[in-house]
Chain A
């Protein structure tokens, strides 16, 4: 029986490692004329600028790392040729250097050992750590098959460990970005249009006349290209319509703000359909040419009048009508934005379907100012043998559930890691790369149970995130500024590729993920899958296949390729959508055959009891997930989150501005730490709002520890979407605890 995996705080280890190799340089004060670097513009000699693409979020803006003659990183700026950023990084990208200079970084490989009956970590050499991992993998594969290894990942490092697992014989690879984030949206759009809106989204915001945001807070979610395009659209006079219980930044820039009662969005969407169809405002030519199921839809929404929706959503009927007419006026240059984080209430695929259907009624898909067709360039894989076929895969962990899950569902792999009698498919080892599962995955108890039962847990990260405390082996990855990486190949308006190369050599003993993967692979006898000396060789070969070279990319950082296919549907042309019938599915036969509603239906969701408020969470423009809360460049802008409370609620509770409170959810779970109260008219009286990603409880994150509150720990009730397994997280309610709930207690 495996020893209970005790949580170990990493801070005491790795202190003896070599000092950081580069620090941010100091300019002599007053030497104004000598400031050597120019943002975006001409490059001044004496300094180097090294191409990179950002890793602080998934937008992956191409940029330049500026390095002093002494080899220190001064700043990071955007690559002017990159359509994702147009030479302008967002605050997180500009502050990305804080990831590199973070004093709390992981410094050496660490191995879990038992010393005097206590579990602890000790520093290990790479050799020892890698041998240990390979040995354990062989042992697990010998007993349970190679399929018993799984990977949870986010961002660039994931690719190398996916390759490792695929070569070893497993495709149990999952990312929280599906079942905890964009999964419902992608599934809803695939079921309607035959394809998703991808990432970066193919929304033509730049040229739109009307942008409709449903709970999506562009400007606070700093998806760079979208924020830039929204600003451009505002300049050109576009109308913005925002549906949000909170006056988001985008809502404050909107012609219509619909301060909806949370959880009732589907009722509003149905009422909008009703107005468009029954006032004859929909795009008739488009619907008759490209869609099927219209008559059924018309019948379906007959009774969903704005007056009906008013009773559900609290949005006045006239506001519903006016906003629908505004969309129709702008059509087809209108976007009902699909959003991104869409795991809310458990009927999220249906809500995304409703959004997709509205786009169809307005004819926006395939039209200028609506949703365009992407084109990218395919980078061939470096030559390798075919991957072995696994005996079973993540689909088998679904156990007949979630028929439309087209990507692995994190939670079913976690389930499969908790052994039960008679279980056919069991997972015994995890790799976790670039995702802090403890904060990204709700249902903490299940996660803990699974981690306790594993035979191997390897965590690869740059920072001592909470998840590292549960690992058997912790491997320090170097930051994106210190490594070569896979090419960024983006499919959008124009096909582009971008290069990331090291601006400085890795600090401490940190290593790039490609190297870690290769080392483990070779130890497993999978050398044929890693038939190269280093990653430069891979890049050289790949770039040659697409008519470029490492030399060229080092110079330009980003390369554009000419488009070969049209961006929009040619006027009135015969166009086949990627659905089975080639038509837009207003009514989904696929869903019907699987036993789900063929057209979206509004279902009431539980509402908070007296004294409780719906917990709404979101983003701040200067932070990404939980990964930037320790970044010294960014915490200066926002050191912690606060809980937004409507003044009426504050008065009821006697709350003062900046008073510290603890939050307690409907199941009695109290937040680890207290959080400051922000009293603001920007939030509804039935809800509270916090920015996600704070309240770290891992002391080695010396800055982030104990600052603010972590929403994930308060999300103990999930509404699982039966269509694709998304974990709806907006059905949790909290109340205020005004006095220290754990007096004398330790966290």
Chain B
């Protein structure tokens, strides 16, 4: 099992619903977020293009954050989900520095927090909150090892990219182009 996500940049309108849904689902404190929307503008008027994409922890297969964690708080769960065990975390911030995606933040309660792929929902057979709420249905969550999944299907049929591949982290969020 290998959980991953594909996000269709052609459909995303950048509304940030994924951000609010994550915040209310996961009690993310005001002023912080586990996911966010990036807008990249390219070209000069009137030959301009925009890419909108919802970003979060890439749940990398080769995770610098897991490697550098001195206490073992950052670890892999089944399906490759990267999690932080809050009561093992000492808040040193090494993982924050190591992450090429700036996906982690220091929670006011003293530990490091980030996207969990809504593991509590996934374990009950549901999609993450961001995927469920997205009005454009631009996100696909699933198991890369399941050849019948919608996720595998879109990745087979569309061009895609991942972010900062040069970091060699083997990210598991794919952006459909």
Contact = CB atoms under 8 A, between A and B. Distances in A.
Chain A CB count within 10 A is highest, among B109, B116, B124, for B124
B25 to A, nearest CB: 6
Contacts of A224: 135
Question: Which size bracket describes the interface of A in this complex?
Answer: 35 or more
A75 B45 contact: no
A235 B15 contact: no
A400 interface: no
Contact of B111 (A29, A76, A220, A685): A29
Nearest to A222: B15
Given A75-B25, A249-B52, A91 B15 contact: yes
A247 interface: yes
Interface stretch (B27-35, B63-71, B162-170): B27-35
Interface in B12-32: 13-17, 19-21, 23-27, 30-31
A323 B27 CA distance: 47
Contacts, number: 152
A450 B116 CA distance: 56
Nearest to A223: B135
A621 B123 contact: no
B38 interface: no
A24 B23 CA distance: 12
A139 B50 CA distance: 60
Interface string A400-442: 0000000000000000000000000000000000000000000
A678 to B, nearest CB: 10
Chain B CB count within 10 A is highest, among A89, A231, A646, for A231
Contacts of B31: 636
Given A97-B24, A253-B10, A632-B30, A227 B133 contact: no
Nearest to B107: A29
B118 to A, nearest CB: 8
A308 interface: no
B136 interface: yes
Interface in A123-142: none
A252 B43 CA distance: 12
A39 B17 contact: no
A231 B137 CA distance: 8
Contacts of B33: 636
B132 A234 contact: no
A11 B52 CA distance: 40
B87 interface: yes
A683 B44 CA distance: 10
A47 to B, nearest CB: 13
Contacts of A219: 13-15, 136
B150 interface: no
Contact of A89 (B26, B30, B133, B136): B133
A74 interface: yes
Interface stretch (A30-38, A207-215, A367-375): A30-38
B135 A235 contact: no
B160 to A, nearest CB: 15
Contacts of B132: 39-41, 77, 87-88
Contacts of B121: 35, 38-39
Interface in A593-635: 621-622, 632-634
Contacts of B119: 32
Contact of B45 (A27, A37, A91, A259): A259
Given A252-B50, A681-B43, A685-B45, A30 B30 contact: no
A94 interface: yes
B120 interface: yes
A498 interface: no
8 contacts: A37-B25, A39-B133, A222-B15, A227-B15, A231-B135, A252-B52, A621-B17, A636-B23
Q: Which 5 interchain pairs have the tightest Cβ spacing?
A: A219-B13, A621-B15, A231-B136, A75-B24, A252-B50
